[in-house]
A and B are shown apart, each in its own frame.
Chain A
Amino acid sequence: MAGHCEVLRVEEVSVAYDGRVVLRQVTFTVWSGERVAVVGPNGAGKSTLFKAIVGLLPLQSGRIDVLGCNPQQERVSVGYVPQREEVDLSFPVTVADVVMMGRIRHIGWLRRPSRRDRERVRWALDQVGLADLADRPLKKLSGGQIQRTFIARALAQEAPILLMDEPFAGVDATSEEAILSLLDRLRERQITVLLATHDLRMATEWSDRVLLLNGEVVAWGPPREALCPAALQQVYGRQLTLWEHERGVWMLGDDHCSGGRE
């Protein structure tokens, strides 16, 4: 369940991209250990929001605070799991090399990895079930194994917040299962996860709260409230057919956005 401190505060944030405003006046606050699904159609600004949070895109206005629960924490950083297409698979690195990259600020300038850094990498690989593949080159991995490698890197980074951009795109069922059960274990460690997805079913079943996005915040709250028929109709319009049902809402979408990129 959600913890008792704020870990991420987004206040009236607007972001422009190529001169076009992509996000308008976005405000929400996330608590430690919460699981948030960021939902919306292609071009809704899901990736843009994540890139703004990690500092890849400048804000046009507003502010974003990434706060740790522990005030003694030296550098509060966000773990960012990129979309798979953004990874250079031809690069000569092994799984363990990639995970060690998450330790670079812990290692520090002009230093080499310590025993603690190596232990942390091994632990992160254990968590995602890739310990046996530590020495395997990145280009020899399946889609799901690549995702798990980057999740392990974020774990090695010891970030209190994890941002995952469409982690299930192009991933087989076994890896999806593995990633979901890993996210369960992360919750026990009070790690907050924000997950961008276009899969409404997955958002409903998995998250504590849903941020329904379409250039601005359309709804923000528990899944059943945020994904109410009115809000969904507003975002998806005719792309989606809805039936209300005593156990919830049935949705039928022409899922032409699956696998797409923003």
Chain B
Amino acid sequence: MGWLLEPLAYPFIVRGLLAAILIGGVCAVLGTYVTLRGMAFFGDALAHAILPGVAVAYLARWPLSAGALAAGILAAAAIGYLQHRVREDTAIGIVFSGAFALGVVLLSTVRTYTVDLAHFLFGNVLGVSPSDLVVIAVLGGTVLGVTAAFHKELVVLAFDPVLATVLRLPASLLRYLLLLMLAVTVVASLQVVGVALVVAMLVTPPATAYLLTRRVGAMMRLAALFGVLSAIAGLYLSYYLDLPSGPAMVLVCTGIFLVALLFSRRKG
């Protein structure tokens, strides 16, 4: 048991662990809708597209989450507008790469450019301050609360948008709500896994759970379990093997997915 408790003697590791657990769970819950609706590429793009907002906030010494959220909403709106002119995946590609490049250029004006960029791309969970942890908890709690409140409507929208229209559910409103929650999740995950890897936390645990379950509710619960386990295991791996923590968490996710893939193939 000693090896489990040893890292917890450091307050910054305890904070990092709490942040990682929160993000592992929140990403998996929201990611369940993302995978069921086939929005993985959109989620990845949105994550990359918040970089210029982060950079501007960083340079101007504003709270990073505010800049990131503004950029995320702007990017989602830009994609929504562009997809009337070009194909949707093309629109996503244009906005995502353009915004990402802008973010890198903005950050390159800082002296500590490479370190900062690496933190934004791959996370810096051990740098989570007490106030960061509060922000992550508030953002994550909001996402969980909103999805719990509108779960059955979001499932109907994902399964059968036609039924949602027939029953006069406010389909576009629910769609925007889901996009907004996706942006909030990405922003909350910035410090834990970074913009380049957040899509793995969104997609891999739900995909793993999908292989092992038959209903949305069970899939979501199992995904959250995998997300949280991956976050904890990744952080310990990173502590003992001196690995970068974000990639370590993602690799644990991928490992669990591969095991599930083998197991589910044998089963059915």
- Give the interface of A toward B (CB within 8 A): 54-56, 75, 77-80, 82, 86-88, 91-94, 97-98, 101-102, 104-105, 107, 109-110, 137, 153, 157
Contact = CB atoms under 8 A, between A and B. Distances in A.
Given A91-B36, A92-B215, A93-B215, A80 B166 contact: yes
7 contacts: A79-B166, A80-B163, A91-B158, A93-B216, A94-B215, A97-B215, A137-B214
Interface in B128-159: 149, 152-153, 155-156, 158-159
Nearest to A137: B214
Nearest to B159: A91
Given A104-B156, A104-B167, A86 B215 contact: no
A102 B214 CA distance: 20
Nearest to B161: A56
A93 B166 contact: no
For chain B, give the interface size range. Answer: 20 to 34
B92 to A, nearest CB: 21
B165 A56 contact: yes
Contact of B214 (A79, A94, A98, A110): A94
B123 to A, nearest CB: 30
Contacts of B166: 54-56, 77-80
A101 B169 contact: no
B214 A104 contact: no
Given A104-B153, A107-B152, A80 B214 contact: no
B120 interface: no
B46 to A, nearest CB: 23
Contacts of B155: 101
B167 A77 contact: yes
Given A77-B166, A82-B160, A104-B156, 14 more contacts: A54-B166, A56-B162, A75-B168, A88-B160, A92-B36, A92-B213, A93-B215, A94-B215, A101-B155, A101-B160, A101-B163, A105-B167, A105-B168, A153-B163
B219 interface: yes
B131 to A, nearest CB: 32
B210 interface: yes
Interface in B179-207: none
Contacts of A104: 152-153, 156, 167, 169
Contacts of A93: 159, 215-216
Given A55-B168, A110-B149, A80 B156 contact: no
A88 B159 contact: yes
The 8 tightest CB contacts between A and B, nearest first, are A54-B166, A137-B214, A80-B166, A91-B159, A101-B156, A105-B167, A56-B165, A92-B219
B159 A101 contact: yes
Interface string B203-247: 000000010011110010000000000000000000000000000
Contacts of B162: 54, 56, 80, 82, 86
A110 B154 CA distance: 12
A106 to B, nearest CB: 10
Contacts of B210: 92
A66 B250 CA distance: 52
A30 B121 CA distance: 61
Contact of A54 (B36, B165, B216): B165
Contacts of A94: 214-215
Contacts of A157: 167
Given A82-B162, A101-B156, A92 B216 contact: yes
A258 to B, nearest CB: 24
A80 B216 CA distance: 23
Nearest to B169: A104
A77 B153 contact: no
B155 to A, nearest CB: 8
A97 B168 CA distance: 19
Nearest to A57: B165
B144 to A, nearest CB: 15
A48 to B, nearest CB: 14
Contacts of B169: 104-105
Contacts of B159: 88, 91, 93, 98, 101
A78 B168 CA distance: 10
Q: Which of A78, A91, A137 has most chain B Cβ within 10 Å?
A: A91
Contacts of A79: 166
A77 B169 CA distance: 12
A59 to B, nearest CB: 14
Nearest to B160: A101
B170 to A, nearest CB: 10
Contacts of B153: 104, 109
